Chains A and B, each alone.
Chain A
Amino acid sequence: MESGKNRLNLARLYFRKAQADLESAKHLSSVAQYANSVFLAQQCGEKAAKATLALKNIEVREHVVSGYLASEVVAFAPEAWEERLREVVRMLVALEEHSIRPRYPFVTASRIWDPEKGYDRQAAEDAIQKAQTILKELEGFCESNLGYLPGDASI
């Protein structure tokens, strides 16, 4: 990724996908698909973080992105944003715990983890709340500090 235009377009696409994941998470929760809802909420947070990193010319091709966000964005953020972004990172870390568990059954020890039984409405609502905050805060930060302009990507 070289030009500023490409970075802006990539960020726009990531933010758009993050918004779509958030809407999907809300819908899945409303039809009692709580595990899938939590996974989509995690996806929303991950993509909002990747949008922000894209504007810093960093493309991350893995799912755990909170470390990159902390070291490449929060570390250089204006003081007024520091606490808010720390809270964003804390919420992202919490969501990252759900990048795999909602998706697969697996053997833990004496039992098999069943994602459909492992998540309830409260867990889904909590994850959606975190994803919503992450998306709103990071979009606001990018507009105020990284020259981000919301809009359609022109590819």
Chain B
Amino acid sequence: MVLREFGASVVSVTMFGSQVKGEARPHSDYDVVIIMEALDPNPNMRGEIVASAITNILFESGLRISPLVFTREEATNEVENGSPLFATVLSDYAILYDPTGFMAELLDLTKRLRPKITYVERGRAWNLARTV
């Protein structure tokens, strides 16, 4: 469904967050990272395209996905610059589609780079470098 709605240029689809951790509530959204070959450079246009895809998936399956969508180049740039997001993904994730192994390589790179950032949330603090 994700592949159909986001088009042929999907490179990889990875789920992370509460649904993978088994902490999700009924109707909780599904956090996913979607890597694409190409994306509309206009952020407003990109937002509209993503919103339509989310809505179509929602009505077809009843699942509300919350995708973070990147091109290969954007995702690589994120990781190489110590993106907290990709380090967070590492705490619990499931790669759903990755025929070229791009996402697997990206997450390996994230592990090697180990961003030294401490997050504080809901009374808990954790160091990302120690989670990977």
Binding site for B on A (CB under 8 A): 64, 66-68, 70-71, 74, 86, 89-91, 93-94, 97, 107-110, 122-123, 126
A78 to B37, CA, bound (A): 40
User: When A90-B52, A97-B50, A110-B77 are in contact, do A70 and B82 touch as well, CB less than 8 Å?
Assistant: no
How many pairs, one residue from A and one from B, have CB atoms within 8 Å of each other in the complex?
A: 58
Measured between beta carbons, the chain A residues less than 8 angstroms from B85 are 108
User: When A67-B64, A108-B83 are in contact, do A93 and B55 touch as well, CB less than 8 Å?
Assistant: yes
Contact with A109, one of B47, B48, B62, B77 (Cβ below 8 angstroms): B77
12 contacts between A and B (CB under 8 A): A64-B29, A64-B66, A66-B58, A68-B27, A74-B59, A86-B59, A89-B55, A93-B58, A94-B47, A109-B79, A109-B80, A109-B82
Least distance between B21 CB and chain A CB atoms (Å): 17
Contact with B58, one of A70, A107, A108 (Cβ below 8 angstroms): A70
Whether B54 contacts A93 by the Cβ 8 Å rule is yes
User: When A67-B58, A89-B55 are in contact, do A108 and B64 touch as well, CB less than 8 Å?
Assistant: no
A90 to B66, CA, bound (A): 13
Chain B 48-68 per-residue mask, 1 if CB under 8 angstroms from chain A, else 0: 101110110011001110100
The 6 closest A-B pairs by CB, nearest first: A67-B64, A94-B51, A109-B81, A109-B78, A110-B81, A90-B55
Secondary structure at the A interface, as helix, strand, loop or mixed, is helix
A36 to B117, CA, bound (A): 28
User: When A70-B59, A71-B27, A110-B81 are in contact, do A90 and B64 touch as well, CB less than 8 Å?
Assistant: no
Measured between beta carbons, the chain A residues less than 8 angstroms from B55 are 66, 86, 89-90, 93
Pick from A66, A67, A90 the residue with the most CB of B within 10 Å: A67
Q: Looking across the interface, which residue of chain B has its beta carbon closest to that of A110?
A: B81
Q: Looking across the interface, which residue of chain B has its beta carbon closest to that of A107?
A: B84
Whether B44 contacts A122 by the Cβ 8 Å rule is yes
A93 to B59, CA, bound (A): 12
User: When A64-B64, A70-B62 are in contact, do A90 and B29 touch as well, CB less than 8 Å?
Assistant: no
A110 to B115, CA, bound (A): 13
A77 to B51, CA, bound (A): 21
Measured between beta carbons, the chain B residues less than 8 angstroms from A67 are 27, 29, 58, 62-64
